[in-house]
Chain A
């Protein structure tokens, strides 16, 4: 996720969009982690969705 953030910062103005789909069973913990990592790209909450199956 740290490397994705670097990619996001480096290439966003060239039209690259980074996304993460979080499958963490406890979204609150995932929120804390992304805040700690200072991730600024969009993060979908995918827990419980069909994407995880």
Chain B
């Protein structure tokens, strides 16, 4: 496939997924304005940081007059899971230039990682497809933040669009679990994340990911 058709294929794949991002983008905008940070800071968070969970935590801490080091450290611990994404996706980006890789890194999110890494394994297409997946997520995130910040719009509570986010990951997870080590990794990763769901800094997610990987490796070695 050509670069252009790879990019378009990525856009097509991500289109339904953006539905789940929209409510959180609105919340990211609303939260910043309600914390008296202003529309400009709301947009600053969504464009410069571009990582939802860490944005919301930072906004809440700033609103509570937390000290700057606490705000920054909290946000970065929440985003530490992206080290795993960066390592996992890196082999597929080796052929790209430094500038393109910088763009790819900036656009790296849970969704962009999940949607493209399984596809890479299937047919080896990489950067254009990834950028096709990652860019619409950025556009929707930034636009929804703006709407949330300016209009103060939220979606009605009965409409569970936010559930589309875990459903997206589930849709990718099911075919990705293909042998005993990956089953063990998924079961342990999910269980640890559930047990650790109440931990601060999103540590349940990080701990679930790391322990799932270790358990999967253990299953592989003992096979």
Partners in one complex: no
